[in-house]
């Protein structure tokens, strides 16, 4: 009879632990949803920009990709993921020549995807031509 009471006590303890773990997971999940980050990208250039947004979670991963037409914008919604950077391509109208958009960290500097840093905030950007009129002219991302 004592053995049965001990097992019932252990079963009850296990159920309480599992119940608490479920409640903790639900609370943590709701807390994650309360942090939703928006990253808006505007394209005022004469062409289409395919912008890839990366997020950071123990490394940088492509979160979403969108073609943004001339004089248009798009807001990427990352949910609880922290945005970390961009890369992409730009196709100028009428020439159809594809150019690379320089990989840019959410902190604003050009770097490879391994150099992207988490930026857990909302931000606004535009596709821009950097160093216009020089030999080093290239497409990139500029903070607004």
Can you tell me the distance from the alpha carbon of 37 to that of 86, in angstroms, rounded to the nearest whole number? 15
Whole-number pLDDT of residue 106: 97
pTM of the model: 0.74
pLDDT value of residue 30? 47
Element (H, E) at 97: none
Whether residue 48 is predicted with pLDDT greater than 90 in this model: the reply is yes
Cα(116)–Cα(141) distance, rounded to whole angstroms?
13
Higher per-residue confidence, 141 vs 1: 141
Q: Is 80 exposed, middle or buried (0-12, 13-18, 19+ CB in 10 A)?
A: middle
Mean pLDDT for the stretch of residues 125-129: 97
Contact between 60 and 121 under an 8 Å Cβ cutoff? The reply is no
**What phi, psi does 92 have (nearest 5°)?**
-75, 135
Residue 127 gets which letter from DSSP?
A: E
**Is residue 139 predicted with pLDDT exceeding 60?**
yes
- pLDDT score of 108 more than 90: yes
Which one is predicted more confidently, 99 or 7?
A: 99
Please report which confidence band the pLDDT of residue 2 belongs to, taking 50, 70 and 90 as the band edges.
low
State residue 31's pLDDT score.
47
pLDDT band, very low/low/confident/very high, at 141 (cuts 50, 70, 90): very high
pLDDT at 133: 85
Q: What is the mean pLDDT of the chain?
A: 87
Place of tokens 């030999």: 135
Share of the chain above pLDDT 70, in %: 85
């Amino acid at each position: 009879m004592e053995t049965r009471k001990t097992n019932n006590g252990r079963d009850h303890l296990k159920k309480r632990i599992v119940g608490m773990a479920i409640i903790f997971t639900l609370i943590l999940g709701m807390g994650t949803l309360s942090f939703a980050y928006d990253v808006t990208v505007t394209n005022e250039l004469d062409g289409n920009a395919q912008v890839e947004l990366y997020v950071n979670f123990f490394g940088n991963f492509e979160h979403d990709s969108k073609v943004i037409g001339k004089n248009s914008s798009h807001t990427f919604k990352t949910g609880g993921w922290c945005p970390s950077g961009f890369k992409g391509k730009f196709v100028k109208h009428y020439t159809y020549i594809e150019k690379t958009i320089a990989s840019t960290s959410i902190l604003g500097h050009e770097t490879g995807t391994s150099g992207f840093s988490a930026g857990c905030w909302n931000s606004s950007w535009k596709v821009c031509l950097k160093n216009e009129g020089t030999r080093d002219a290239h497409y990139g991302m500029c903070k607004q």
